Amino acid sequence: MATAAAASLQYALHGAATASAKPRSAAPGRSVRVAAARRSVRARGGAVVARAAASADATAESKSGGHEVLLFEALREALIEEMKEDPTVCVFGEDVGHYGGSYKVTKGLAEMFGDLRVLDTPIAENSFAGMGVGAAMKGLRPIVEGMNMGFLLLAYNQISNNCGMLHYTSGGQFKIPIVIRGPGGVGRQLGAEHSQRLESYFQSIPGLQMVACSTPYNAKGLMKAAIRSENPVVLFEHVLLYNLKEKIPDEEYICCLEEAEMVRPGEHVTILTYSRMRYHVMQAAKTLVNKGYDPEVIDIRSLKPFDLHTIGNSIKKTHRVLIVEECMRTGGIGASLRSAIIDNFWDYLDAPIMCLSSQDVPTPYAATLEDATVVQPAQIVAAVEQICQ
């Protein structure tokens, strides 16, 4: 059913792309344009992504220009650039069209690309996630937005049984180049159901890649790389980071989906973190430096697979590890990361790995109780002092 709907949508999207182009012969022009776009996407994907990402940080530093954007604006820029480049890129979700998305990531896209490429859906997550999978099977590159990542639990069947596995179960006949994205994490008194962290839910699904953005720079770079990827990618955005401002390059760039980011070099302890906790860690790092400690901070960014090369090189230098996450302690990203470090770098550790995670309780609505469930900078400082004794 999802595939049939996707086929109909694919025909409509390609027709809309042709109608908006300069006058040309109808069917041949459309097919040539789409085929060329697909070849371009394939050429720009894969190894090109990895090579370009390796020089992305250096490029950002070397260019004196750039422009300041908020994180949600950086995501929007990535969508616009990729949709202009490739007519097979489209967006599905609740209120993504003329309303512009719950956090305005898709603001103005419906006016730019039309209602068929920026498709408002009913409140039916399982249905439109399935339509996204079917569209990807038929050659489109859909971006499925969950208005809140917690709502995507209703689409878990499509994400796990179809999105992650169809490439394998079809014997390689189908690729699923889909991006699933949206806001999550503990916000400001959003209540338990709107404060979900689904990283731990999705990490065990075979076939999925997972990344978490934390700055406007890596938000744009990761979004563009995810759209170009031939694999299904889940992009986690934190609800409290959308208004974070940063200067990003005017030139095109992408970030590698499998690479961690060295945020602060150090010698005494490796602190591994991602998303919002990056800022709690950096706040704690200021206190630690004043106390004579020299922490190395790594934003792991790639939640699946882990960048064990970067992580391992740091551990071989510091010999101590602290993991800081907003995910739940039981079965969370930190638990998987701790296991990977023990399996691969046990001989380099001089102290037990410590992991600071959120409490295994529903997130309270009351602000003081909400803060108590999430790791705070003072806890990070105390943990480093304990590890370095």
* Active site (catalytic) residues: 125, 194
**Structure token pair of residue 234:** 């889940």
User: In terms of Cα–Cα distance, which of 309, 288, 307, 290 is closest to 299?
Assistant: 307
Half-sphere exposure of 76 (CA within 13 A, CB side): 21
- Sort strands 67-70 and 245-248 into parallel, antiparallel or unpaired: antiparallel
Question: SS3 of 251, please?
Answer: coil
**Structure token pair of residue 226:** 């995810």
- What are 273's strand-pairing partners? 299
| Residue 85 burial class via C-beta count within 10 angstroms: exposed 0-12, middle 13-18, buried 19 and up | middle
- Sort strands 354-358 and 321-328 into parallel, antiparallel or unpaired: parallel
Q: How far is C-alpha 235 from the geometric centre of its chain's CA atoms?
A: 2
Alpha-carbon dihedral 27, 28, 31, 35, rounded to 10 degrees:
-170
